[in-house]
Amino acid sequence: MKTRSLLSPASLVLAIAAFSASAQAQIAIGHLADYSGGTSDVGTPYGQAVADTFAWVNKNGGVGGKQLNVDTNDYGYQVPRAIALYKKWSASDSKVAAIMGWGTADTEALTGFLAQDKIPDLSGSYAAALTDPEGVSGKAKPAPYNFFYGPSYSDSLRAMLMWAAEDWKAKGKAGKPKFVHMGANHPYPNAPKAAGEAMAQELGFEVLPPLVFALAPGDYSAQCLSLKSSGANYAYLGNTAASNISVMKACKTAGVEIQFLGNVWGMDENAAKTAGDAANGVIFPLRTAVSWGGDAPGMKTVMEISKMSDPTGKVYRPVHYIAAVCSALYMKEALDWAAKNGGATGENVAKGFHQKKDWVPAGMEGVCSPSTWTDKDHRGTLKVDLYRTKISGATDGDLNDLMAKGTIKLEKVKTIELPRKPELLGW
Amino acid sequence: MAGPALIPAGDFRTSYAADTTIFPTTTSRNFAIIGVLLLCLVPQFLGGYWLSILIQIGIFSIAALGLNILVGFTGQISIGHAAFFLLGAFTSAYISNNAPIPVFFAIPLAGVVTALVGLIFGIPAARLKGLYLVIATLAAQYILLDFFSRAEWFTGGSVPASANPFSIFGFALRGDRQYFYVVLAYVIASYVLVTNLMRTRDGRALVAIRDHYLSAEIMGINLTKYRTLSFGLAAFFAGIAGALYAHYQLVVSQEGFGIERSILFLAMIIIGGTGSIMGTLMGTAFVVLLPETMEFISLYLKGGAIDKALSLNTNITFLREIAIGVIIIAFLMFEPDGLAHRWRQIKAYWKLYPFSH
C-alpha cells in the first residue's frame, strides 16, 4: 500500500514530464485544405497528399528527431476562415513553424501578415504575385515568406501561348489567332490574366474580352455561344477541373471548335474521366515529371506515402496528389535545414528554402522538377511541361483500368523553358 | 411570446415609467452590470481561440440586432443583410485607408454610409410586402455584391482589400485581447440604444406597423417613413458590425458574404427569437458556436472507430454541414419561439421552484 502511494505520484510526475517533453519536442505546422469549398475537386487530393506525406515523415522519425504536429483544417475556400485559422497559428502561445497554404485569395490576404510574423507559407496558389520576395519589380507587394512548387500561373500561361502560336503556324491557318481568357471573377483565375493577355498580344494574337464563369460546376452554354460567335481559337480556362469540365461539355454540345488551355489545377485524370471525350485534346501544364505509376525512381516513395491513407495501394492518385507530395517534402527538407541551423522557427525555415540549387527532395528523383528559390526570386522553376489529354473511348469504370488500358492518356507535348527575365518577376 | 399571460398575479405597475423600465428588478440590473464587468475580465483568462469566438459573437450580434429591428419589430423582411455588412466593412477600410481619418471615426462613418444606402434599398419596402419584399431585397444582395467585385477603386476588385488596425490619434490597438474591448463597447452601446429605441414613440410606431399596419396607418403613423427608416436602421447596424469585422480581420474579402450569410443572419434572429433583443444575442451565440461544436465532434470522430468502420475520411466535413442543418430544423420544430422564450421559461421555473405545479 505504501509503495503504491509513493509510486503513483512519482509515475504521475513522470507521465507529465513525458507528456510535456513530447509536446515540446513537436514542430507545429498549419495546413489549410479545401475539402468542401469552390476548389474542393482538386483540393481534396492535394490536401490528402499533404496529410499523408507528413504522416509518413512522422513514421520515419520526423524532422531532426521531432514529430510534426500538423493542424489540418478544411476552410472551405473562404478567406475569413483562413484568416481566423491564421490568427490561431500566429498566436505567440501556439505559433507554427510553417504553413501549407492553399487558395490565391487567402494566400494574398495573408502575405503581409506572414512577413510580419515571419512564418513561411508554401501555398497551392501559384500566383506570380507571390514570387517577388522584396517587391523590387513594383508589380506586386513584397512576399518574402511565400513559396510554391511549380511554374507560376503566369509562366504556365506564357508557355501555353508560345505553344499555341506555334500550333497556329503548324496548322497553316491564315490570319491572327484569337485568344480569350476564361474564369471566375476571383483572384485565382484573374492572377495570370494581365500577364497572359500582354504575352498574347506580343505573340500576335487578337485578344478578345474575357469571359466569366463561376468556380462551381454549372450550365455554361451562354459562354460557349459567345465563344462560337466571337470565333475564338484558343481559350484559357482559369478555374479548377470540375468547373472547367462544365464549359468543355457545354461547348462540345454547342459544337464550338476551340483549343482549350487549362491551368495546373484545370485538368487531371479524374476530370478527364468525368468529362469523357469533351476533355479530349486539352493542353495543360504538369508540375511533376511523371504521373501516377510513372517510370521514375521517386515514384516508389510516392506509392509508400499513398499507403498512409490507402493501405491497399489500389487507389489511383491524380497529378495534384503527386505535386502535393513534392510540395510537402520541400517543406520537410526546409524544416530539416532549419532544425540543424538554429531550430525550426519560421525565419530559419524560410532560409532553408534558399539553400539549394536545382533541388529535388531526397527519394523523389525523377518525380519532382528541380527547383531553386533564392532570397531575391521565388520563382522555383520556369520550366513548363505541357501535356495533352487523349481520350479514346468510353470513360466508365475504374480509373486504374482506364489509365492502364490507355483510354485516358496524358501525352507530353512540349517542354518550354522560359527565360528568367527580371522584369517579369512578380507578374 | 412575452404576452401578459406570463406575468404572474400581483405583479402590476403603477406608472408608465415602471411599465417601460429595462430592468424589472434591482437584482436583474445588478446581474447585468456584474455580467458586463465579468466580460471585461475575460481577455485575461481566455485563450486566443475562445476570445476570437466571443469577438465573432459580438460582431455578428450587432448585425443581427439590426436585422431584428427590421424583421422582429417592424415585420418586414430582408435577405440582403450580408451585403450591407460587407458594404460597412469595405467603406470603413476605404475611409481609413484613403482619408486622414482614424479607424475610431471610420467605423461610425461606415455605419452612416451604409444606412444611407440602406434607405435607398428600403424604398421598395414602402410598397411591397411579404414574398414580394423578399425578392426586392434579394436584388440588394446581388447588386451590392456585383458592385464590390467590379469596383476596383473601392474594394480592390477580386483581390481582398486590406484594412488598418483599430487606432485613435496614433495609438493603435493590436491583437484580440485589446480588440475585444472595442467590440464589447459597441455591443453594449448598440443593445442599450435599440432597447431604448423600442421605448420611444418611433419604436412603438414600428411595433404598431408589425402588429397591424392598417390600424397603424389609421392612427396616423406614416407607413412609408417608418418602413424605410427601419431599413436604414437595419443597414446602420449591419454597417457598424461590418466595419468592426474589417478592422478585426484586417482584410476584407467578399467571400463568405453571399446570400447564405444573409440567411444565416435571419437564422440567428429566428433561433434567438424575433422581436427579442436578448434573444438576438442568444441566437447569434448559437449560430456561431454550432459549427465550432460540430468541428470538435468531427475532430473527435476523425480516426476513431466510427470513422474507420464507415470509412468517412474527408466526408466528415460534409457530415458536419448536414448535422448543422438537421440541428437547426430540429430546433425550429421544438423551439419555434426561440431561445429567448426558453430562457423566460427557465427563469419562471426557478422562480416558482419547487412549487411549479
The region of weakest confidence among B32-46, B161-175, B204-218 is B161-175
- The answer to whether the Cβ–Cβ distance between A309 and B313 falls below 8 Å is yes
Distance from CA of A77 to the nearest CA of B (A): 9
Which H helix or E strand runs over A197?
helix A193-202
* Residue B128 pLDDT: 85
User: What pLDDT, in 10s, does the model give residues A170-201?
Assistant: 999 888 999 999 999 888 999 999 999 999 99
Q: Specify whether the CB–CB gap between A272 and A393 falls below 8 A.
A: no
The region of weakest confidence among A394-403, B144-153, B160-169 is B160-169
Res B157 pLDDT > 80 = no
Res B106 pLDDT > 80 = yes
Res A50 pLDDT > 60 = yes
> Could you tell me the pLDDT band of residue A51, with boundaries at 50, 70 and 90?
very high
* Residue A158 pLDDT: 96
Task: Give mean pLDDT, residues A89-114.
Answer: 90
* Residue B356 pLDDT: 64
The region of weakest confidence among A401-415, B179-193, B325-339 is B325-339
Long-range pairs, A348-351, Cβ under 8 A, ≥24:
A349/A97, A349/A98, A349/A120, A350/A118, A350/A120, A350/A144, A350/A145, A350/A147
> Could you tell me the pLDDT band of residue B112, with boundaries at 50, 70 and 90?
very high
- The answer to whether the Cβ–Cβ distance between A108 and B160 falls below 8 Å is yes
> Could you tell me the pLDDT band of residue B7, with boundaries at 50, 70 and 90?
low
* Residue A19 pLDDT: 44
The region of weakest confidence among A1-10, A72-81, A214-223, B291-300 is A1-10
> Could you tell me the pLDDT band of residue B291, with boundaries at 50, 70 and 90?
confident
Q: Which of A34, A35, A44 to mutate to test the interface with B (most CBs of B within 10 A)?
A: A35
**Minimal Cβ distance to B49: which of A47, A88, A112:** A88
SS3 state of residue B11:
coil
Query: What's the rounded Cα separation, in Å, for the pair B12 and B24?
Result: 11
Q: Specify whether the CB–CB gap between B286 and B271 falls below 8 A.
A: yes
* Residue B76 pLDDT: 92
- The answer to whether the Cβ–Cβ distance between B255 and A109 falls below 8 Å is no
Instruction: Please indicate whether residue B25 or residue A28 has the higher confidence score (pLDDT).
Output: A28
- The answer to whether the Cβ–Cβ distance between A108 and B159 falls below 8 Å is yes
> Could you tell me the pLDDT band of residue B317, with boundaries at 50, 70 and 90?
low
Task: Give mean pLDDT, residues A405-424.
Answer: 93
* Residue B285 pLDDT: 95
Is residue B317 within 8 angstroms of chain A, CB to CB? yes
- The answer to whether the Cβ–Cβ distance between B314 and A91 falls below 8 Å is no
Is residue B218 within 8 angstroms of chain A, CB to CB? no
* Residue A3 pLDDT: 44
Query: What's the rounded Cα separation, in Å, for the pair A6 and A11?
Result: 9
Task: Give mean pLDDT, residues A260-287.
Answer: 93
At residue B22, φ and ψ (nearest 5 deg) are -75, -45
Which residues in chain B are closer than 8 Å to A94, comparing Cβ atoms? 48
Instruction: Please indicate whether residue A354 or residue B304 has the higher confidence score (pLDDT).
Output: A354
Q: Specify whether the CB–CB gap between A139 and A426 falls below 8 A.
A: yes
Which residues in chain A are closer than 8 Å to B250, comparing Cβ atoms? 83, 113
Rounded (10°) angle between helices B223-249 and B48-68: 170
Is residue B178 within 8 angstroms of chain A, CB to CB? no
Query: What's the rounded Cα separation, in Å, for the pair B83 and B87?
Result: 6
Task: Give mean pLDDT, residues B129-139.
Answer: 89
> Could you tell me the pLDDT band of residue A13, with boundaries at 50, 70 and 90?
very low
* Residue B3 pLDDT: 47
**Minimal Cβ distance to A186: which of B158, B251, B318:** B158
Q: Specify whether the CB–CB gap between B239 and B119 falls below 8 A.
A: no
A378-410 residues labelled b (16+ CB within 10 A) or e (exposed): bbbbbbbbbbbbbbeeebeeebeebbeeebbbb
- The answer to whether the Cβ–Cβ distance between B159 and A187 falls below 8 Å is yes
Instruction: Please indicate whether residue B13 or residue A249 has the higher confidence score (pLDDT).
Output: A249
Res A22 pLDDT > 60 = no
Which residues in chain A are closer than 8 Å to B160, comparing Cβ atoms? 79, 105, 108-109, 187
For A186, name the nearest residue in chain B, comparing CA atoms only.
B158
What Cα–Cα distance (Å) separates residue A176 from each residue in A229, A230, B2? Answer: 16, 13, 74
* Residue A388 pLDDT: 95
Task: Give mean pLDDT, residues B184-191.
Answer: 96
User: What pLDDT, in 10s, does the model give residues B246-286?
Assistant: 999 888 888 778 888 999 899 899 999 888 999 999 999 99
What Cα–Cα distance (Å) separates residue B345 from each residue in A92, B26, B31, B342, B348? Answer: 43, 20, 18, 5, 5
* Residue B257 pLDDT: 86
User: What pLDDT, in 10s, does the model give residues A125-176?
Assistant: 999 999 999 988 888 889 999 999 999 999 999 999 999 999 999 999 888 9
User: What pLDDT, in 10s, does the model give residues A332-372?
Assistant: 999 999 999 999 999 999 999 999 999 999 999 999 999 99
Exposed / middle / buried, residue A347 (Cβ in 10 Å: 0-12, 13-18, 19+): middle
* Residue A180 pLDDT: 96
Is residue B249 within 8 angstroms of chain A, CB to CB? yes
**Going by C-beta distance under 8 Å and a sequence separation of 6 or more, which residues neighbour residue B194?**
B65, B68, B69, B237, B277
Question: What is the reported pTM?
Answer: 0.82
Task: Give mean pLDDT, residues B152-160.
Answer: 80
Which residues in chain B are closer than 8 Å to A47, comparing Cβ atoms? 314
CA atoms within 13 A on the CB side of A95: 14
Which residues in chain A are closer than 8 Å to B150, comparing Cβ atoms? 185
